[in-house]
């Protein structure tokens, strides 16, 4: 199904580019920038999680609306990443100049009026807006419950992203994810909605509202294990301050305790998955997914 998601993304953006190419060539340039960003790849994590939850719930693999929902999740991710690059003043994304940097460079080369940096950043913001508009368009025909979860995801992602960056700016971002010991919940700095909502969306689209609570419990334990693993192993969200804490606070015994906590959280997620009434083999698949996500090699 991921191949169909890729094709859907290409089709949506190709059609939009064709629409604007004759009507407004400059407008087509914005679509082209967005299409290049999406085509550059990425792990497609949220579509993958969504499709896992959808198929596990017995969803029809041939349903086009599932492909649309997965594509919408990727476009929402695209919007978030583009704006995060601006906020973080990142120069590269996936080995290529970030959108705001490449557009600022275009401004400088052309000798255009105004400030190149502001032009690049505003263009990136508009590209994020465009990605979000297409995501909403893809989600619009879906059932009411799926749209409700989508709205929750959009809202929590925006607020969670702001909260995380505000805490970092105020030097209040605690690298030790201690609150994750009992399982992530609303307000988790790392945004556990990235796992929780795609699973719940999959259940809703498959017509399995009974899985909403169990999927949330599974996500809570698994995301907590992933956060703790990132702290121990030095994941991308953990910079020098986390490394310093590990070196100062974690003696071998404490490290072993943290490993045990991770294992307990993974086992909790696995028990939840294996207790559910899912399509054949998918309980085991969700349990294996939990093991992979929280493993030292994952």
Residue 235's pLDDT is what?
56
pLDDT at 251 over 70: no
- Which pLDDT belongs to residue 95? 85
CB atoms under 10 Å from CB of 96, counted, come to 13
CA neighbours within 13 Å on the CB side: how many for 117?
5
Q: Considering only the top CATH level, what class is 1-47+61-142? A: mainly alpha
pLDDT score of 237: 54
Class of domain 144-298: mainly alpha
pLDDT at residue number 174: 57
| pTM value > 0.75 | yes
Helix 25-39 to helix 64-88 angle (10° resolution) is 100
Of 25-39, 43-57, 100-114, 157-171, which range is least confident? 157-171
pLDDT number for residue 249: 60
Of all helices (H) and strands (E), which one includes residue 97? strand 96-97
What mean pLDDT is predicted for residues 243-261? 71
Average pLDDT over residues 204-218: 96
Instruction: Please tell me the predicted confidence (pLDDT) of residue 77.
Output: 94
Over range 241-263, report the average pLDDT: 71
Confidence of residue 238 (pLDDT cuts 50, 70, 90): low
Question: What are the domain boundaries of the chain?
Answer: 1-47+61-142, 144-298
Query: For residue 231, is pLDDT > 80?
Result: no
Q: Which residues of 120-134 are buried (b: 16+ CB within 10 A; e: fewer)?
A: bbebbbbbbebbbeb
Confidence of residue 168 (pLDDT cuts 50, 70, 90): confident
The predicted-structure confidence for 181-195, as pLDDT tens digits, reads as follows 665 665 565 556 779
Answer yes or no: same fold for 1-47+61-142 and 144-298: yes
Q: What is the pLDDT of residue 190?
A: 54
Model pLDDT for residues 30-69, shown as the tens digit of each residue:
999 999 999 998 889 999 999 999 999 999 999 999 999 9
């Amino acid at each position: 199904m991921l191949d169909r998601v890729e094709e859907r993304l290409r089709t949506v953006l190709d059609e939009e580019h064709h629409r604007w190419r004759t009507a407004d060539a400059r407008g087509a340039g914005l679509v082209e920038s967005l299409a290049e960003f999406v085509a550059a790849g990425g792990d497609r994590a949220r579509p993958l999680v969504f499709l896992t939850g959808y198929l596990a719930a017995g969803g029809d693999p041939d349903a086009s609306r599932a492909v649309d929902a997965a594509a919408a999740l990727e476009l929402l991710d695209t919007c978030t990443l583009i704006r995060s690059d601006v906020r973080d003043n990142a120069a590269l994304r996936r080995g290529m100049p970030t959108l705001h940097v490449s557009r600022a460079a275009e401004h400088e080369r052309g000798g255009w009026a105004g400030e190149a940096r502001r032009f690049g950043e505003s263009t990136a913001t508009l590209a994020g807006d465009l990605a979000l508009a297409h995501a909403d368009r893809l989600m619009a025909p879906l059932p009411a419950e799926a749209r409700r979860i989508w709205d929750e995801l959009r809202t929590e992602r925006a607020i969670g992203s702001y909260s995380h960056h505000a805490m970092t700016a105020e030097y209040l971002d605690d690298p030790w994810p201690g609150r994750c010991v009992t399982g992530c919940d609303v307000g988790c700095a790392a945004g556990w909605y990235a796992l929780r909502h795609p699973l719940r969306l999959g259940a809703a689209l498959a017509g399995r509202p009974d899985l909403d609570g169990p999927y949330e419990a599974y996500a809570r334990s698994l995301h907590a294990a992933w956060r703790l693993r990132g702290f121990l192993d030095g994941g991308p969200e953990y910079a020098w301050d986390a490394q310093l804490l590990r070196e100062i606070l974690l003696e071998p015994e404490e490290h072993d305790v943290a490993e045990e906590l991770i294992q307990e959280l993974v086992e909790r997620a696995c028990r939840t998955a294996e207790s559910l009434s899912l399509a054949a083999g998918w309980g085991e698949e969700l349990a294996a997914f939990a093991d992979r996500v929280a493993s030292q090699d994952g």
